[in-house]
Structure 1
Amino acid sequence: MWTKQELSKLRLEARMKVFGESSEAQFLFEIAGTALGVIEFTAVEKLSSPYEVTLSLASEDEVRMDEVIGREGLLTILGDEADRYFHGIISSFVQVGTKGRFFLYQAKMVPSLWLLSLEQDCRIFQNKTVQEIVSTILEDAGITSDRFVFRLQNRYEPREYCVQYCETDLQFISRLLEREGIFYFFEHSRDKHLLVFGDSTVNYQPIAGEPQVLFHPSDSRVPGEEFVYAFQLQRQIQSGKITLRDFNFKRPTLDLTAQEEGSVDNRFEIYNYPGLYNTESDGRRLARLRLEESLVVRDLAFGESYCPRFVPGLTFQLVNHDFEELNQEYLLIEVTQEGEQPQELEERANAEREFHYSNSFACIPSSVQFRPQEKIPRPFIKGPQTAIVVGPEGEESYMDDEYYGMVKVQFHWDREGRRDEHSSCWIRVAYPYAGENHCTQFTPLIGDEVLVDFLEGNPDRPVIIGSLFKGEHKAVVKPEDMTKNEILTPYQHKISLDDKGGEITISTGANYSCRMSDPKKLIHISTPNGRFLSLDDTAQEVRLNTEHGSYLSLHDPSKTIQLETEDRNFLLMEPGKITLKSTGGQEIIFQDSGNVLKMKNNNGHCVKIQSGNPNILVSDSNLTHKIQVGPDSINIFADTGTMTIQTKGGDLVVRALGQTLKLEGASGRITIDSTGIHIDAGAAPVEVKGSLIKLNC
Structure 2
Amino acid sequence: MNNYSLDLAYIEINSEKYLNVISYQEKLSLSSLPEIALEFLVEKKINIDEILYAKAAFVKNNLKITGFIGQVKQVTCSEKYYNYSVGLQHEVYQLNENRKSRIFSNITINDLIHTLFSKQGIAYDLRLNAAYNQEKIFHQYQETDWSFLSRHLERHGIYYYFDYSEDGKIVFIDDKSLHQLLTDKVFISNDFAEKRSRQCLILNESVFTVPNQVIIQSYNPLNAEQLLTATIQVTDHGHSDHYHYIAGAGSQEELERLGNVYAQSLGCLRHTYTLCGEIINVYPGKLINVIEQGGGKAPQKYLVYAMKVCGKQKATTLIQNEEVSPIYECSLYLIPADIQYRSKMSSTVPNIAGFIHASAHGNCDSEYAHLDDSGYYEVTLRANYEKPTPFKARKVEVFAGKNYGMHFPIKVGTELLVGFIHGYPESPIIIGSGYNSDHVNVVNSQNSYDHIIRSESGSEIRLSDQAGSAGFEISHPGYSLKVTTSRES
TM-score by length of structure 2 reads 0.89
Is contact 1:343-1:352 (8 Å) kept? no
Is contact 2:221-2:429 (8 Å) kept? no
Partner of 1:297: 269
Task: Give 1:98 deviation, angstroms.
Answer: 3.3
- Following superposition of structure 1 onto structure 2, how do residues 532-681 of structure 1 map, counting pairs within 5 Å? none
Partner of 2:456: 490
Distance between the aligned counterparts of 1:53 and 1:212, measured in 2?
25
Instruction: Please state if 1:517 is matched with 2:465.
Output: no
Instruction: Please state if 1:168 is matched with 2:150.
Output: no
- Closer/same/farther in 2, CA of residues 86 and 460 from structure 1, 3 Å limit: same
For residue 344 of structure 2, the aligned residue among 349, 353, 373 is 373
For residue 386 of structure 1, the aligned residue among 329, 350, 357 is 357
Partner of 1:334: 306
Find the residue that maps to 2:341 and give its secondary structure.
Answer: coil
Is contact 1:47-1:183 (8 Å) kept? yes
Task: Give 1:515 deviation, angstroms.
Answer: 1.6
- Following superposition of structure 1 onto structure 2, how do residues 502-513 of structure 1 map, counting pairs within 5 Å? 503-513=470-480
For residue 34 of structure 1, the aligned residue among 12, 16, 33 is 16
- Closer/same/farther in 2, CA of residues 276 and 507 from structure 1, 3 Å limit: same
- Closer/same/farther in 2, CA of residues 504 and 217 from structure 1, 3 Å limit: farther
- Following superposition of structure 1 onto structure 2, how do residues 462-477 of structure 1 map, counting pairs within 5 Å? 462-477=428-443
Q: For 1:82-127, what per-residue CA distance to the aligned partner results, in whole angstroms no more than 9, with x for missing partners?
A: x333222211223445333323322110111122111211111111
Distance between the aligned counterparts of 1:88 and 1:337, measured in 2?
18
Find the residue that maps to 1:445 and give its secondary structure.
Answer: coil
Instruction: Please state if 1:285 is matched with 2:252.
Output: no
- Following superposition of structure 1 onto structure 2, how do residues 37-56 of structure 1 map, counting pairs within 5 Å? 37-56=20-39
For residue 318 of structure 1, the aligned residue among 278, 286, 290 is 290
Question: Rg: which structure is higher?
Answer: 1
Partner of 2:377: 407
Distance between the aligned counterparts of 2:294 and 2:248, measured in 1?
47
Distance between the aligned counterparts of 1:60 and 1:209, measured in 2?
43
Task: Give 1:373 deviation, angstroms.
Answer: 0.6
RMSD (Å) for aligned C-alpha atoms: 3.0
Partner of 1:86: 65
Distance between the aligned counterparts of 2:116 and 2:195, measured in 1?
46
Instruction: Please state if 1:196 is matched with 2:171.
Output: yes
Letter aligned with residue 449 of structure 2? T
Higher alpha-carbon deviation: 105-114 or 505-514: 505-514
Q: For 1:612-659, what per-residue CA distance to the aligned partner results, in whole angstroms no more than 9, with x for missing partners?
A: xxxxxxxxxxxxxxxxxxxxxxxxxxxxxxxxxxxxxxxxxxxxxxxx
Letter aligned with residue 363 of structure 2? P
Letter aligned with residue 160 of structure 2? Y
- Following superposition of structure 1 onto structure 2, how do residues 426-437 of structure 1 map, counting pairs within 5 Å? 426-437=392-403
Task: Give 1:414 deviation, angstroms.
Answer: 5.5
- Closer/same/farther in 2, CA of residues 34 and 487 from structure 1, 3 Å limit: same
Is contact 1:429-1:465 (8 Å) kept? yes
Distance between the aligned counterparts of 2:440 and 2:194, measured in 1?
79
Instruction: Please state if 1:112 is matched with 2:95.
Output: no
Task: Give 1:384 deviation, angstroms.
Answer: 1.9
Greater relative contact order structure (CA < 8 Å, 6+ sep): 2
Is contact 1:41-1:340 (8 Å) kept? yes
Q: For 1:522-569, what per-residue CA distance to the aligned partner results, in whole angstroms no more than 9, with x for missing partners?
A: xxxxxxxxxxxxxxxx9xxxxxxxxxxxxxxxxxxxxxxxxxxxxxxx
Letter aligned with residue 159 of structure 1? E
Partner of 2:369: 398
Distance between the aligned counterparts of 1:250 and 1:457, measured in 2?
15
Distance between the aligned counterparts of 1:219 and 1:466, measured in 2?
78
Task: Give 1:375 deviation, angstroms.
Answer: 0.5
Task: Give 1:504 deviation, angstroms.
Answer: 3.4
Letter aligned with residue 181 of structure 2? P
Q: Where in structure 1 are there 5+ consecutive unaligned residues?
A: 1-22, 522-537, 539-697
Task: Give 1:395 deviation, angstroms.
Answer: 3.0
Letter aligned with residue 513 of structure 1? S
Find the residue that maps to 1:479 and give its secondary structure.
Answer: coil
For residue 151 of structure 1, the aligned residue among 121, 127, 131 is 127
Task: Give 1:252 deviation, angstroms.
Answer: 7.7
- Closer/same/farther in 2, CA of residues 61 and 263 from structure 1, 3 Å limit: closer
Task: Give 1:228 deviation, angstroms.
Answer: 2.0
Task: Give 1:403 deviation, angstroms.
Answer: 4.1
Letter aligned with residue 408 of structure 1? E
Distance between the aligned counterparts of 1:217 and 1:487, measured in 2?
88
Is contact 1:315-1:332 (8 Å) kept? yes
- Closer/same/farther in 2, CA of residues 325 and 518 from structure 1, 3 Å limit: farther
Instruction: Please state if 1:451 is matched with 2:449.
Output: no
Find the residue that maps to 1:35 and give its secondary structure.
Answer: strand
Task: Give 1:256 deviation, angstroms.
Answer: 4.7
- Closer/same/farther in 2, CA of residues 258 and 53 from structure 1, 3 Å limit: same
Find the residue that maps to 1:362 and give its secondary structure.
Answer: strand
Is contact 2:283-2:304 (8 Å) kept? yes
Partner of 1:592: none
Is contact 1:503-1:515 (8 Å) kept? no
Is contact 1:204-1:314 (8 Å) kept? yes
Q: Where in structure 2 are there 5+ consecutive unaligned residues?
A: none
Instruction: Please state if 1:364 is matched with 2:364.
Output: no
Distance between the aligned counterparts of 2:121 and 2:297, measured in 1?
43
- Closer/same/farther in 2, CA of residues 424 and 217 from structure 1, 3 Å limit: farther
- Closer/same/farther in 2, CA of residues 35 and 247 from structure 1, 3 Å limit: closer
Task: Give 1:489 deviation, angstroms.
Answer: 1.5
Is contact 2:220-2:248 (8 Å) kept? no
Distance between the aligned counterparts of 2:297 and 2:436, measured in 1?
71
Letter aligned with residue 308 of structure 2? T
Distance between the aligned counterparts of 2:183 and 2:59, measured in 1?
14
Is contact 1:450-1:465 (8 Å) kept? yes
- Closer/same/farther in 2, CA of residues 249 and 344 from structure 1, 3 Å limit: closer
Task: Give 1:155 deviation, angstroms.
Answer: 1.1
Task: Give 1:329 deviation, angstroms.
Answer: 2.3
Is contact 2:314-2:325 (8 Å) kept? yes
